[in-house]
A and B are shown apart, each in its own frame.
Chain A
Amino acid sequence: MKNSKLALSPDTLYHACDMSTLKFKTTEELEDSKEIIGQDRALEALDFGVGIKDDGYNLFVSGSTGLGKHTIVKHLLKTKAADLTKPSDWCYINNFEHPHKPKVLKLPTGYGSKLRDDMQQLVEDLLSAIPSAFETDEYNAHVKEINDELEETKDAAFLKLAEKSESENIALMRTPGGYTLGPMKDGKVLTPDVFEKLPKEEQDEIKEKIEEIEAEVSATIRKLPIWARESRNKIKLLNREVSQVTVEQFIDELRVNYESLADALAYIDEVKNGIIQDVDAFRNPGGDELAIPGMMKQKPSFTRFQVNVLVDNSDTEGAPVIYEDNPTYNNIMGRIEHMAQFGTLLTDFTLIKSGALHRANGGFLVFDARRVLTSPFAWEGLKRALRAHEVRMESLEKMLSISSTISLEPEPIPINLKIVLTGDRWIYYLLKKYDPEFNQLFKVAADFSEEIDRNAENTFLFSHMIASLQREQKFKPFEQSAVALIIENSSRKVKDAEKLSLHKGDLIDLLREADYWSGNSGHDVITRDDVQHALDTRIRRLDQLRERVHEQVLRGNYLLETDGEKVAQVNGLSVIQLGDYAFGRPSRITATARLGSGKVIDIEREVDLGGSIHSKGVLILSSYLANRYAQDQPLSLSASLVFEQSYGTVEGDSASVAELCALLSALSKLPIKQSFAVTGSVNQLGQVQAIGGVNEKIEGFFDICKARELTGNQAVIIPASNIKHLMLHKDVVEAVEKKQFNVYAVETVDQVMELLTGKKAGNENNKGAFPKGTINAMVKDQLTEMNRKRQQFSKQSKSDNDDEQRD
């Protein structure tokens, strides 16, 4: 039976562009696209997210790769940022009290580098000014005066001691280790012999005197360090006064430049005190002369007076927009570097390096979500910073106790910025589900659309976008027909003739490849043939496996008939997806039916090769069977369904119509035309529902038929709801035009069965009976017969059992 009502006309198989909407010869005539097509929802969200200043309103821009998210986000953020004020400069400076805790200094834009240069100049100036100040005659005279005073004090003390001892006839003498005292007579020291001869009283008197003077000498010697310290303190005070006068001259000049900046002035004062306290380093910048042999001479370091400009926004236009391509923990949070010195790793505040959070502070920071999440500790670090509104720099090595080198605890830097994460939708939903903090920190979702409606307006805008890309990428102009094919292919890409793909990446690739082939052909403009060639060669590069699969069919290794009739055997269609490329593969589906308890066995499922959706499809068709044919009797069959020669997993329910047809054929014993292939899913009511990959499936069966010879009887049955998705290859459309091939669109299983068997399906009357000789009547009769047999079998079994019991 031929049902011409269900056969699709060639124009429904391929939704070509309405050329009246493309009013140009080449894209050169078109203006650049001024708006972003089809992303209104995402743009609104971005606008809102960027505009709202409150906490947690960071953005997650979702959408698959190639939609141009980054470009759009970057463009939008730069536009917004240009209207915002430049953020401050951030510097790390020495903490003179606790050097391991560097301080933060916030300065107006441009002042960071200025202060850094000024401090460098200050140190250079003082390195020449301070030694000069200490080389003056006035200073030397002061020092000499202090030293002379000390000498005089000491001399006077010892002179007094000497005079006293001489007056007592006691000699005060130097020894290699100190002083000694001895009895004297007439200016000469007494020998032991002479002393022994003295009267006992005189000896005792001498000893007593010596003891007394000894005590005084001891007391005087003890005073020497005190006098020396006093003298040193005087010199220190003098040094301080001299250096203070010198340093203040320079500092006062410096302060004038930072008059309105209290923090900078406070820092300058700290520097002043630091220099005065450490003035010896400036007096002797060459370092200690007594360097350890074989080692580098230690020179005084003046790094503590440097300014580490962590963020210099002097060249920034508006607020910063930073895209961190490699969002590791260190690249986000900043890092503290170390320097090897004599085998030891040392660091100081000048080795603190900024992270993306520092650089983007006051503006926008864009990350790829997947990269942040896959970089160890980066996500946690980012959230911690956003929660605390500050960047606290902690080295990973220290956090993980990997290294025990001296490290720093820099003062955290307060942050106020927008984070924009970009990533696939599934990442967004995973984070939403599993990370409670994500909900608090990323409250704005900007969801980029994958496709737009294919209407006249959007087709027009799309052609402008092609023109913009052509000029941007410096391609040759595209002819009107070439643009039409690109648009049509865009629909094919999204598997929907009524939609256009918004994947800019794919689009640019196609334009580029067409431009290449156009160049090879020596065209001045890119023609439709160039675009078609690009599409064909793209398929050619990818379709080796398709060829192998089809070859297996054509060589008879893979059993598939495209003419004749068979009971319980139908051609189903599946799609194999290989990355970006998909192709259809026809498969033989067979069914067997026998007496049983109403169970339909999905053999794929039994051996764990069937997915759950496929199993669901089989269960639905069982349910349909019971509902349609066994309302008044038990379903007394046992059936099995299988994808013949299928050695991989089968998933999806798009073969459920085909499976049902095979089963109905098995029950009714009506043969099925093998020149047909069927795709579609069925519900419990027997309605045929839309499936995916309809174009590839049709083309898959067509290719086999074409290879064997198109007879005009061959056809593919698809759900009617899939008509809008049809964007079939040119050769299929041409074959249909020539009536060599057909595509039928159906809504019910009955329609499918009628097409497959050439018989009427038959509608149920009000008594639940189908017209005699119809497909459904034959199915029902068979089920009734099976039920009768089953009852008979049950009675027989019961009777046998009773007999056995009686025996």
Chain B
Amino acid sequence: MTMNSETEKTINRILVSLDFDSSSSSFVESMVKLASQLDAELCGLFIEDSELQQVANLPFSREITFPLAHTRELNSDQIARHLKQHAEAMREMMKNLSQLSNVACSFKTAKGPRIESVLSESYDFQVVVLLPEKYSSLTAKRPARLEEIINPTVLLYDGSEQAQKSAYIVKALADKGELHQLKILTLDYDSEVLAKQRFTFENVNIDYQRINAYEISSIIALLETQKTGLLILPAEDKLIEQSEQIRKILDALKCPLLLVR
């Protein structure tokens, strides 16, 4: 691939949102690998979902256990205890895996709505990774290995600075042999021509598709019927204002979302 050198090495910090449901060591390992390949620092953010705490505080709240389907009472202390245990386990796991890969690593916890919490913490990060949430995450098999997660990768290329950074990420993954399938969404003919000049990987199938505007509804409409491994979107500075849009994407496409700032 050919790319302007001024855009290279612009990814220094990656924020990964974690919850009790993303505690698979394989997923964390993949994120560590991603950070290693981008030579960036990785920060895990464990979200203690405030809505869950609220429900747990209701006097009649109950939990339907998995996989036995028993019903038992739920209280906020119990939820808090469990979340704390999960957070601690993930901190330890991330620390160990990062040390093995020689990746700088940090870990923090936050309380509040998931997406909003992540976005509020994301200002110092060039890349933010979010996972789909809610009901589907219980049963749906989450991809764990990096190769599974990123194939196919869908990248929206609008020619912006964030899009250039996205291209850098994709290059790094392609160079390491992890990426095999890439879909590039463009907004117009010019950006498609530009993209075709920039993305010339070997051993990667590249497919170009065009959307009318950089609108979440357009993206969902296009990708809903297609398989998407990882969605990379250029993000505006005020990401917090887009939380609803982000939730829509995650709920609709059920794939990890990588926001590039």
User: A residues within 8 Å of B by Cβ?
Assistant: 147, 151, 154-155, 158-159, 161-162, 171-183, 188-192, 195, 207, 210, 214, 217-219, 221-222, 224-225
Contacts and interface: CB of A to CB of B under 8 A. Distances in A.
Interface in B51-87: 51-52, 54-69, 71, 74, 79, 82-83, 86
Interface of B: 20-21, 49, 51-52, 54-69, 71, 74, 79, 82-83, 86, 133-141
A206 to B, nearest CB: 9
Nearest to A172: B135
A175 B54 CA distance: 12
A155 B136 contact: yes
B61 A182 contact: yes
Nearest to A221: B69
Contacts of A158: 135-136, 138-139
Nearest to A179: B64
Contacts of B67: 221, 224-225
A175 B52 contact: yes
B52 to A, nearest CB: 6
B138 A174 contact: yes
Label chain A's interface by main secondary structure. helix
A188 B52 CA distance: 11
A151 B135 contact: no
Nearest to A157: B139
The 7 closest A-B pairs by CB, nearest first: A182-B55, A221-B69, A178-B66, A154-B139, A176-B82, A178-B65, A218-B69
Given A155-B140, A222-B69, A174 B58 contact: no
Nearest to A161: B135
Given A174-B134, A182-B61, A155 B83 contact: no
Contact of A178 (B54, B64, B137, B140): B64
A180 B75 CA distance: 11
Contact of A207 (B54, B60, B66): B60
Contacts of A222: 69
A191 B140 CA distance: 29
A214 B54 contact: no
B88 to A, nearest CB: 13
Contacts of A175: 52, 63, 74, 79, 82
Given A154-B139, A224-B139, A182 B64 contact: no
Contact of A151 (B20, B54, B62, B140): B140
Contacts of B63: 175, 177-180
Contacts of A147: 141
Nearest to B133: A174
Contacts of B54: 182, 189-192
A678 to B, nearest CB: 112
A224 B51 CA distance: 26
A485 to B, nearest CB: 97
Q: By CB atoms of chain A within 10 A, which of B59, B65, B79, B135 has the most?
A: B135
A337 to B, nearest CB: 46
Given A172-B134, A175-B79, A176-B83, 20 more contacts: A147-B141, A151-B139, A151-B140, A155-B140, A159-B135, A174-B137, A177-B63, A179-B63, A179-B135, A180-B55, A180-B61, A181-B55, A182-B54, A182-B55, A189-B54, A190-B54, A214-B62, A217-B69, A221-B69, A224-B67
B51 A192 contact: no
Contacts of B136: 155, 158-159
Given A180-B74, A189-B55, A151 B82 contact: no
A151 B141 CA distance: 8
Contact of A154 (B21, B56, B65, B140): B140
A177 B65 CA distance: 6
B55 A171 contact: yes
B51 A195 contact: no
Contacts of A176: 20, 79, 82-83, 86
A155 B59 CA distance: 30
Given A158-B138, A176-B82, A221-B66, A171 B51 contact: yes
Contacts of A159: 135-136
A218 B74 CA distance: 16
B243 to A, nearest CB: 12
Given A158-B139, A214-B71, A224-B139, A180 B57 contact: no
B41 to A, nearest CB: 28
Contacts of B20: 174, 176
Contact of B138 (A179, A182, A195, A218): A179
Contacts of B21: 174
A187 to B, nearest CB: 9
Contacts of A225: 67
Nearest to B55: A182
A181 B60 CA distance: 10
Q: By CB atoms of chain B within 10 A, which of A151, A179, A183 has the most?
A: A179
Nearest to B66: A178
A174 B134 CA distance: 6
A217 to B, nearest CB: 5
B178 to A, nearest CB: 19
A63 B86 CA distance: 91
A179 B66 contact: yes
Nearest to A225: B67
Contacts of B137: 174
